[in-house]
Structure 1
Amino acid sequence: MKGFHIVVLLSSAVLLVSAAPALELVTCSEDGGPAAARLAMHRINENHDHGYKFRLKTIQSHKMDKVDGGCNLELQLNLLETVCYNIDPKPFEDCLIRGEAERAVMANCTVQFSVRNNDANLTKYECDTRQVKTNQDMVMLCPDCPMLVPLNNIGGLKSVKEAVSKFNQNTTNQHYYILKEVGRIRVGHVLGSGMYYYTEFALVETHCPMGSRINPEACQPLCPDRAHHAFCQSSYSNATGVKSVACEFYPPSNTTALGPGEKEPLCRYHGGGHPPGVGGATPPLGCLWPPHGGYGHPPHVGHGPPPPGGDGHPPRVGGGHGGHHHGGDGKDDKEKQHHGPPFGSKQHFHHFHRCRGSDPALHPICPWPRSGHRHGHGPSHRHDD
């Protein structure tokens, strides 16, 4: 396709990520709010296994109730969404906060701790996640800026599907990748060119070797710790199709080499142990795999050409070196086998992750503890004297 280009920003095999400073002791004192807030941010980002990482903006309030052996703390925190996706190993403290023109997102959180004998245990948090400026506000401030639309937007999902197809035409990868999750979809209108979609999405490496005849969407992901992941941004025109795809890769956390004749292990995932669309497993809205966020915590992403309309992509963070390759026309290969409901169908995207937010265009911070989790067994932070 004339004018199409795809950029793959490869991270180094060993990511040179700055180490986060040690966590301070959470104490039952009037000035213990900052330490508790920092610990809360670590726990929130560790549990937030979909969407983007968050950083602390302000501590609105800090209440302490003394009890035998310690105290109970309650904090009101204001958070801002960063441009780092949850699979990015970069510490959240080093992540850039999304700019207002890039459709900034905030969260107001109530966080509770139980502190006993130098052991700070997170017992509960609830957050209200929303856009800093609504679409109506943004129209007044920037009429030409793309609007954020729901993660199940049909046109947006179609553009993601075609972008993933282009990505899998990269012959330098050893295996096909499939969509793990759609991060956000923005829509804008360019005079003389029609509708444009600007998307961000996470990919995961599968067992299927590159060049195999199976439809990549039917491939099963490698085990979370052994899979490469990628985070991508794409631009798509209704008139001409995929315009660009820019991705950053993240290596697996487990790089142990397989022994002679040893095959990659098969992991049993939540939702029946099947890849998306296979064997009846149905993933969440905007998320192809895993259905319940089984990929742990380690993006932020490669930086393609800024989209028209005055709203650029966030800059790339993290190390890496660039390369270019060109894809084909992205048409479906009718000879390839297809399993399960079509990408983007109501059967494929039948509900919003495990918690619902008030804005379907966002990945909200889900409440904790999660369903079925007992109080008193949450993440803790202990300092021994």
Structure 2
Amino acid sequence: MRILCVFLGVLVVRAWALVLPTITMPPCDSPEAEMAAGVFQDYINAQRTSGFKYALNQIDEIKIIGTPNMEIYKMEIELLETKCHVLDPAPVTACPVRTKAEIAVEADCDVALTKTGGVLTVIEHRCKSEPETSTEDICVGCPHLLPLNDTNALQMTTASLAVFNSRTANVSLSKYAILEVGRLTTQVVSGAPKLFSEYVIVETNCTTTEDDNCVPLNQSMATYGFCTSGNVIANVSVDCRIFAPQQPVVEPAQNGTIPLLMIDMTGQLSAESVESLDPVKQASIISIVKRQAPAAGTVAPGGQSNTMPVPVCPGKVKFF
């Protein structure tokens, strides 16, 4: 009977050792941390349908929970807004990041990914975005953000698009309509206030000589563009760059991941619904994360030390 009890005790200890997750905290600038952050950067830019692309600025924290079937990455990541709209096909590496003087916008994200078969997948994330700092702390006369419903700035935006459409009338291009106003700013230039606008345009079924009943073309057929405009008093300037036709957007539900939950600088959610994972997979992940590992410095069943090295975090700042 005593031998049997000892045997059962050994089986229990070994079984516990098999299910106990391992926890590692690699340096924030390690290749595995950079790879996971890069996957999230690409994911967040691909999932968003409005606003500007984000570029990785710093990895603040990373913890990897190892299980027999997968690794779970828990990360804190800082992103910075670029000047490329999400519809711009340019890779994010080619997109300049806004400077502090241009009212840089920072997004702080809590991210969870899984790694199975060498493939990293974003399963959960929450981001909060806000201006990186006030321009008053940087320079006198720097631009200031305006609300996206500012009447004067929107009137200037509409006038600038009319200027662009009139330019293209001589080359038989379609008429464009405003799809989204991404940013409105004001700045004092030579003693006079100047308005600036950044907005996205979409091709319509009208030619530039037609004015009424214009409807944007289907996404698979339409071309899009990005315009910057400004004015001093009544003089309006505009510069637009037209993109290639866009590919259909892949819905988040089709790739099994959770869509972006971005909180803007006003504190409002820009995406209110969150797709759920498969209940079985979700329960498995939650149980693994909640399971407690032995404290640092103790020895887990099987004689393996659970001492974790001091993490080297946060990582280096890529921009500012």
Normalization by structure 1: what TM-score?
Answer: 0.57
CA contact (8 A) 2:74 2:113 kept: yes
Normalization by structure 2: what TM-score?
Answer: 0.68
Instruction: Tell me the residue number matched to 1:211.
Output: 209
Pick the structure with more helix per residue. 2
Matched, 1:223 2:221: no
1:295–1:177 CA distance, 2 compared to 1 (3 A): farther
Cα deviation digits, residues 166-194 of structure 1 (max 9, x gap): 222121252111111111111123455x3
Query: Residue 49 of structure 1: CA displacement?
Result: 1.5
Structure 1 vs Structure 2 CA RMSD: 2.8
Q: Tell me, in whole angstroms, the C-alpha distance in 2 between the residues paired with 1:245 and 1:296.
A: 32
Query: Residue 100 of structure 1: CA displacement?
Result: 1.6
User: Kindly, what percent of the aligned residue pairs are identical?
Assistant: 25
5+ residue gaps in structure 1? 1-27, 255-293, 298-353, 379-385
Instruction: Tell me the residue number matched to 2:138.
Output: 141
Of the three residues 105, 130, 150, the one matched with 1:153 is: 150
Q: Tell me, in whole angstroms, the C-alpha distance in 2 between the residues paired with 1:166 and 1:113.
A: 47
Instruction: Tell me the residue number matched to 1:304.
Output: none
1:211 aligned counterpart, secondary structure: coil
Instruction: Tell me the residue number matched to 1:235.
Output: 230
Of the three residues 276, 282, 303, the one matched with 1:374 is: 276
Instruction: Tell me the residue number matched to 1:357.
Output: 264
Cα deviation digits, residues 288-347 of structure 1 (max 9, x gap): xxxxxx8679xxxxxxxxxxxxxxxxxxxxxxxxxxxxxxxxxxxxxxxxxxxxxxxxxx
Q: Which AA in structure 2 matches 1:244?
A: S
CA contact (8 A) 2:127 2:263 kept: no
5+ residue gaps in structure 2? 1-23, 252-260, 282-320
Query: Residue 146 of structure 1: CA displacement?
Result: 2.0
Query: Residue 356 of structure 1: CA displacement?
Result: 5.0
CA contact (8 A) 2:129 2:263 kept: no
2:166 aligned counterpart, secondary structure: coil
Query: Residue 94 of structure 1: CA displacement?
Result: 1.9
Query: Residue 50 of structure 1: CA displacement?
Result: 0.9
1:36–1:173 CA distance, 2 compared to 1 (3 A): farther
Matched, 1:248 2:241: yes
Cα deviation digits, residues 48-82 of structure 1 (max 9, x gap): 21111111111111111222301211111111111
Equivalent runs, 1:1-385 vs 2, <5 Å: 30=26, 31=30, 32-134=32-134, 138-170=135-167, 171=169, 172-191=171-190, 194-214=192-212, 218-237=213-232, 239-240=233-234, 242-253=235-246, 357-359=264-266, 371=273, 373-376=275-278
Query: Residue 355 of structure 1: CA displacement?
Result: 6.1
1:167 aligned counterpart, secondary structure: helix
CA contact (8 A) 1:224 1:295 kept: no
CA contact (8 A) 1:121 1:376 kept: no
1:158 aligned counterpart, secondary structure: helix
Q: Tell me, in whole angstroms, the C-alpha distance in 2 between the residues paired with 1:89 and 1:182.
A: 18
1:106–1:213 CA distance, 2 compared to 1 (3 A): closer
1:166 aligned counterpart, secondary structure: helix
Greater C-alpha Rg: 2
Instruction: Tell me the residue number matched to 1:325.
Output: none
